[in-house]
Amino acid sequence: MNREIRILHTADTHLGYKQYHSEVRRKDLFAAFEIVINDAIDMQVDAVVHAGDLFDSRNPTLEDLLETINILSRLKVANIPLFGIVGNHESKQNTQWLDLLEEMGLAARLGKKPRLVGDVAIYGIDSVPKSKIPLFDYSGFEAPDTSQLENCRKLLVMHQIVQPFPYAEWDCADMVEKLPFRVDAILLGDYHKYEKIKVGETWVTYPGSTERNSASESEPRSYNIITLSDKGLEISRRTIPTRHFLPIPVTLKGGEKSYEQIFSAINEHLEELPGSVVFLEISGDSGSVLSFSEIEEYLLNKGALVPRVRDLRIKESFPDEVLKVTFSDPDHAVANEIKRMSLNDGGLIVDEIIRNPNVPRSRVDEETEGRLSKLIEVIDFKDPDFRIEIPISSARVMESQEAIHDIEIRLNEDIKPATETEFAGKNEFIGAITGNSDILRASDRIESPAIKNPEFSAVSLKSSGSSSEPSPLSESASESVFECASEPVSESVSESVSECASESVSELVSEPASEPASEPASEPAFPQEIHEILTKGPEKEMDILKEGENEPEKEVVNLPEPEAEASPGKEAGSKADELSGGKPIKVSDTTGKAAKKGQKKGKGKPAVPRQYNLGDYL
């Protein structure tokens, strides 16, 4: 080598991490990174290598970005290059934050193409998910031009946990053998503890994190200095001053007050408490119940920055349990979940586009619309065998069955056998709707008292009062009623129903009675209230009757004189005499009004035909 090369190796700065929800801790992480950069400038190193997790999140805040840019700008002013890779915490689908810093001239992203620092070639591999490690492609690495380099050294930067370190994901020895060139050292990140070992002839080292990310990281924080010369490669460690993490163990003993023992243990560390992150661990006698808030308040009053209280007695009271931890492939887990959802072709297309890392988020809508349009174009909707199958989960099937059951119950409540209703004369039959049939059928006959409403008893026709069989006139009226009621009544057909009912009234009024006058009792024909109720529904019957009293005169009908007189002593006879006088009968226009009200009430809703139980009005 022409000269000695010194490279500062750091990793896992986790900038932007607000540990314990403390803004002071967020600033502590930036302060530690700033110390590393200042040391690099003071030592005038040839380059700074960051082995991943520059940021703690893939979406750092604008404040975090600005502070990072300000710190890295000092390296640019000092003419010291920064080389980095993408860690698992900050990894995005496509463009990385490191690419942004590279566009600003503050950093350079390492890859399979070497970055030269003197006679040293530096390569990089971004964080690789565990499931994709066996599929990693070792080809594509470019060899440096050694014609102009003497004794070129090669470094590889990665963000992985490799064997033989704990929680290893990648076999380091196997990786070294598969690389197309010999590597002098592998500079790693992701493991927050300082480590240095030799795998074959290759050095493998972790610098550790620049700040503590948990209470278990008790060792001092540090970074590495890699020195390459003709004598070989040397790795040295430099520690970083960070905020003090103070553990205080307390063992409670029976017979004394618990709080006094705890506060006494805290008072033994009064000099270390100010500005420290304190971890108070309580063990021993489990007879007393403690208030964590009271203990934390005492620590804050003594100057602790962050108080953390942990009661180990709770854990000791439970029997030891064996926890089995298994790691599964996330891609397989997603595939199984998609399979369980039973998506159709359109759903699979949407899922594929959303999870495709090569499709930018801004183009998801456009790509989805294009793919679905192509799917619709190839579908032959005229094919008689075409059908759209929508998979339904078991939960939805149960909900649908419950909804159908509720509908059946309501139908059974609405469509039930007719009860006794008031209808004039001896016309003893009712209509019933059975099951889901639209056919109106006559059921068993029941006796019905005559209508006592004087307003509607004015229109009456004479029929047999003693015979149990209905008169021909009554049969005609019944057929007219059935013809009107057999059609579904809705807002759109309310006028036709009204006309049908009006024709029945006119026919019944104009037809003379065929029975002898000597037979008593009168039977009114199909009254006006029936076709009003058919168009409005049973729930509005009383409203229509009340409105009919105050309606102005709309239509006058002159009834002809009846040929046969009613027998004396009957109320129907006196009413017939009044009709013989030629007095006009007022017919209220409640049908049209009811139809209009129905249209207003059902505005914005589909016209659903409603079936009425005609027996309630006969």
Q: Span 429-435, mean pLDDT?
A: 42
Residue 59 resides in a domain: yes
Residue 348 resides in a domain: yes
**What dihedral angle (degrees, nearest 10) is formed by the CA atoms of 177, 181, 185, 186?**
-60
| Full residue range of the structural domain in which residue 474 is found | 431-617
Domain boundary among 378, 399, 417: 378
Residues 137 and 183 in one domain: yes
Residue 16 resides in a domain: yes
Return d(Cα 308, Cα 249) in angstroms, integer: 12
Return d(Cα 615, Cα 434) in angstroms, integer: 12
List, for residues 436-454, the tens digit of each pLDDT value.
444 444 444 444 444 444 4
Q: What is the CATH number of the domain that holds 59?
A: 3.60.21.10
Return d(Cα 459, Cα 576) in angstroms, integer: 8
pLDDT greater at residue 253 or residue 16: 16
List, for residues 174-207, the tens digit of each pLDDT value.
999 999 889 999 999 999 999 999 998 999 999 9
Residues 529 and 432 sit within 8 Å (Cβ to Cβ): no
Residues 187 and 296 in one domain: no
What residues form DSSP beta bridges with 6?
227
Residue 401 resides in a domain: no
Contacts of 127 (CB under 8 A, 6+ apart): 52, 85, 86, 87, 88, 91, 159, 160, 190
Return d(Cα 470, Cα 120) in angstroms, integer: 115
3-state class (DSSP) for residue 518: coil
Q: Which strands, in side-by-side order, build the sheet including 232-240?
A: 108-109, 82-84, 47-50, 5-10, 221-229, 232-240
Look at residue 274 in the predicted model and tell me its pLDDT: 95
Return d(Cα 396, Cα 24) in angstroms, integer: 50
Which range (186-190, 218-222, 608-612) has the least confidence? 608-612
What residues form DSSP beta bridges with 586?
556
Return the axis-axis angle of helices 541-550 and 528-536, rounded to nearest 10°: 130
The Cβ of residue 73 has, within 10 Å, a number of other Cβ atoms equal to 14
What's the mean pLDDT when you consider all of the chain?
74
Helix residue spans in 486-553 (DSSP H): 494-510, 528-536, 541-550
Residue 397 has pLDDT above 50, yes or no: yes
Residues 370 and 437 in one domain: no
Nearest to 442, CA basis, from 418, 412, 423: 418
User: What total number of domains does the chain contain?
Assistant: 4
Q: Span 351-368, mean pLDDT?
A: 86
Nearest to 76, CA basis, from 106, 44, 41: 106
Nearest to 478, CA basis, from 434, 423, 433, 519: 423
List, for residues 124-153, the tens digit of each pLDDT value.
999 999 889 999 999 889 888 766 666 789
Q: What token pair was written down for 207?
A: 């610098």
3-state class (DSSP) for residue 7: strand
- φ, ψ for residue 108 (rounded to 5)? -135, 135
User: Catalytic site residues?
Assistant: 89
Residue 198 resides in a domain: yes
Return d(Cα 559, Cα 574) in angstroms, integer: 15
What residues form DSSP beta bridges with 120?
117, 153
Residues 49 and 147 in one domain: yes
Domain boundary among 185, 220, 240: 240
Residues 177 and 52 in one domain: yes
Residues 451 and 349 in one domain: no
pTM above 0.85, yes or no: no
List, for residues 226-282, the tens digit of each pLDDT value.
999 988 899 999 999 999 999 999 998 876 688 999 999 999 999 999 999 999 999
Residues 612 and 555 in one domain: yes
Residue 210 resides in a domain: yes
Beta strands 120-125; 202-206: pairing state: unpaired
Return d(Cα 78, Cα 530) in angstroms, integer: 100
Q: What token pair was written down for 325?
A: 């931890």
Q: Span 103-129, mean pLDDT?
A: 94
Residue 469 has pLDDT above 70, yes or no: no
Contacts of 84 (CB under 8 A, 6+ apart): 49, 50, 51, 52, 54, 98, 101, 107, 108, 109, 110, 124, 157
Residue spans of beta strands (DSSP E) within 130-194:
153-159, 185-189
Residues 178 and 291 in one domain: no
Residues 173 and 39 in one domain: yes
Scan for tokens 């059908």, then name that residue: 387
Contacts of 177 (CB under 8 A, 6+ apart): none
Is omega for the bond preceding 164 within 30 degrees of 0, making it cis? yes
CB-count burial class (<10 Å; 0-12, 13-18, 19+) for 518: exposed
List, for residues 148-172, the tens digit of each pLDDT value.
666 789 999 999 999 888 888 899 9
Residues 206 and 250 in one domain: no
Residue 334 resides in a domain: yes
3-state class (DSSP) for residue 195: strand
Residues 74 and 33 in one domain: yes
Which range (217-221, 231-235, 246-250, 313-317) has the least confidence? 313-317
Residues 236 and 300 in one domain: no
Residue 407 resides in a domain: no
Domain boundary among 272, 293, 316: 316
Residues 221 and 206 sit within 8 Å (Cβ to Cβ): no
Beta strands 120-125; 115-117: pairing state: antiparallel
pLDDT greater at residue 599 or residue 103: 103
Residue spans of beta strands (DSSP E) within 461-501:
461-462
Residue 618 has pLDDT above 60, yes or no: no
Q: What token pair was written down for 215?
A: 């209470």
